[in-house]
Chain A
C-alpha cells in the first residue's frame, strides 16, 4: 500500500528564514503529489501540485516544491517565511487504482514562526 511520510511533526523557524518541509512517499511509479496548508479550525487549501514534467513546482504564497524521483521525495520550500505562514502543512499523494484516484495524506507538519 502506498504511504506518505512527513518525518517532522513540528518545525520552528524565525521570520525571514528559509523553510523546508519534508515529504517522502512509497510507490513504485510516480504518483500525483500535493501540498496543502491548514489554518487552525479551517479546511485545507491547496498550495501546489505535481503531475509530471518540470520537477520544480511553483505554488501560491511563494511556496515551491521539488520532486526527486531517486529519493521518493517532494519537499516544500519557501525562501523567506512570514509570520502568517504559521499553520499545519500536509503532503498528499494520489495514486491511480482501477480508474479511481484516492488521496493519502501524511500526518502533517506544524510550522511555528518566531518573530
Chain B
C-alpha cells in the first residue's frame, strides 16, 4: 500500500545534539512538507519541497535543515540551534502543481523529546 513512513516513532535527544527524522513516501508525490505540532498551537510549517533538490523555508525554519535528494525522501534535521525542539513532527506529501489542492497525505509522526 502506498503511504508515508516516518521513523522513528519516538526519539530522544540530548541537548546540543543534532538528530535527523526520516520521511519516506511511495506515492509518487512531488511535494513534501514538514510540520511541527505543539499542544494548542496546531500545525506550523517548517520546510517544504515541491521538486527534488529544491526546498523553501516555512514559518518556523530556524534551527532546522532539510534535503531533498530523492523524490521519495525528505529528511529533517533538528540542529542544536533549535532551542525548544521537544514536539511532535509530522511529514506530509501532496500532488503538487498548478492544479494543487488534492489534499495531503500525512505520516504517523515522530515524537521528539530532549533529555
Chain A interface residues (CB < 8 Å from chain B): 9, 32, 34, 36, 41-46, 49, 51, 90, 94, 96, 99-108
Contact = CB atoms under 8 A, between A and B. Distances in A.
Given A44-B43, A94-B101, A100-B96, 17 more contacts: A9-B40, A32-B101, A41-B88, A41-B108, A41-B111, A43-B90, A43-B92, A43-B106, A44-B104, A44-B106, A46-B104, A101-B96, A101-B100, A102-B58, A103-B33, A105-B43, A107-B40
A89 B24 CA distance: 25
* Size band of the interface chain B makes with A: 20 to 34
A32 B103 CA distance: 9
- The secondary structure that dominates the B interface is strand
Q: What 7 A-B pairs have minimum CB-CB distances, sorted nearest first?
A: A101-B100, A43-B106, A107-B42, A32-B101, A105-B43, A44-B106, A46-B103
Max chain A C-beta neighbours (<10 A), residue from B48, B88, B106, B111:
B106
- The secondary structure that dominates the A interface is strand
B108 A42 contact: yes
B45 interface: yes
A41 B48 contact: no
A51 B99 CA distance: 11
B90 A49 contact: no
